[in-house]
Structures are given as C-alpha cells and as structure tokens.
Chain A
C-alpha cells in the first residue's frame, strides 16, 4: 500500500458526461501528479500541483482540469467525455520536487 488513495476505483459513464476523480496524497506529501494510461500506452503526464499551486502541465486537454485543495487532496475533472478518454487515471504524490513519487491504484474510466 503506497498510502495514496484514489476514488472511485472504477467509473463507467456515457459520452458527453462529466466526472470527477479524487486523490488523497500520502501524509506529509505536498506534491500531486496526475497521469493517464491508455491500453498499450505509456504513462502520459497531465498536470502537477505543489502545495496548492500548479507547477507543471503536460498535454492535458482543455476539457480536463484539476486542482489541489488546502488539505492537499486533489481532484481531476473530465468533461464532455469521449470514447477515447477511456483509460486508467493515476495520481501520485511526493514529499518534495526531487523526491520519488508514490502512485495510487488508479481509477479505471470507461466511456460508453
């Protein structure tokens, strides 16, 4: 158990809908990362927050947004969902900029 908690574990929704994925980092970790992993694809970096502030952005679609709250948990919002958004979404957290990141078990999103 990495100590990073993601909810829900599974999510099935229809095209055009909006969903929110939640991540609770390890105790004491200030940094949160979001990644997307599609079938047979590598981990695609979406966005990173450090102590509530956005620090790095990857190829995140405009339909996707995220935020980190004062209690350090983070949410990833996905809207106007398309079939191609079906993937595993991972959250990771780290103590500082240079330290290792620990991953949650992911949310499997299926868009039908």
Chain B
C-alpha cells in the first residue's frame, strides 16, 4: 500500500528564514508526486507535480525537488502569507488511481 510521511509536523519560521519540508514516500510505480497548500477550512490548492527523480519545479518562493524516496519543498525567504499546511501526495502505478496524502506540515511564518 502507498505510504506518505511528512516531517516536521509543524514548523515555525521568522520572516525571511529559509527552510525545507520533507515528504518520504513508498509507492509501487510512481505515477506522480504532488504538493498542495491548504488554508484552514479551505480546499487544498495545487502547487506542483513531479514525475521523476531529479525533477525540480519552482513558483515564487517555493521550490520542489524529487528523489527516488523523498521530495523536498524548499521555502526561500518566507513571508507571513506563506503560513499554511503543506500537503504531499502520491499516485501509484497499475490500475490503482488512488491519490494518497501525508498528514501535512503546518508552517507558521512570524513577521
């Protein structure tokens, strides 16, 4: 069964203090790894898709990278508006189209 583990569970940063979030996964035949941002009471907002080891994607202050066993979401010089829960998810191969999520990392950026 596909498994996703995210660490840390919670992270507090000062504005401008860069850091990384980790997503470790176990999947049979990775079809895609996805990063989402979720604000309280809202639906997850899609950020990135990564398909193969070595791939990188960037958007503003966020950069996602992928290896064969884990993915990192790097946050450079974060701002308070980056505060949210960041979710990682994987889709495995075969006929199973299930999208499996980790429990997320709650990021708080203080001004």
Chain A residues engaging chain B, CB cutoff 8 angstroms: 2, 4, 31, 33, 35, 41-43, 45, 48, 50, 55-56, 58, 88, 90, 92, 97-106, 108
Contact = CB atoms under 8 A, between A and B. Distances in A.
Given A55-B95, A92-B44, 10 more contacts: A42-B101, A43-B89, A45-B100, A55-B97, A88-B41, A101-B99, A102-B46, A103-B43, A105-B42, A106-B42
Nearest to A4: B43
A99 B99 CA distance: 10
Interface in B94-111: 95-104
Interface residues of B, number: 25
B98 A104 contact: no
A104 B102 CA distance: 19
Contacts, number: 67
B45 A33 contact: no
B79 interface: no
Query: What 4 A-B pairs come out closest when comparing CB atoms?
Result: A103-B43, A42-B103, A56-B98, A43-B101
15 contacts: A2-B46, A4-B43, A42-B87, A42-B103, A42-B104, A43-B101, A48-B98, A90-B44, A97-B97, A98-B91, A100-B32, A102-B46, A103-B44, A103-B46, A105-B43
A109 to B, nearest CB: 13
Of A31, A56, A88, A90, chain B has the most CB atoms within 10 Å of the CB of: A56
A93 B7 CA distance: 27
Contacts of B43: 2, 4, 90, 92, 103-106
B91 A97 contact: yes
B31 to A, nearest CB: 5
Interface in B37-65: 41-46, 49, 51
Contact of B45 (A2, A99, A108): A2
Contacts of B51: 98
B34 interface: yes
Of B41, B43, B95, chain A has the most CB atoms within 10 Å of the CB of: B43
Contacts of B41: 88, 106, 108
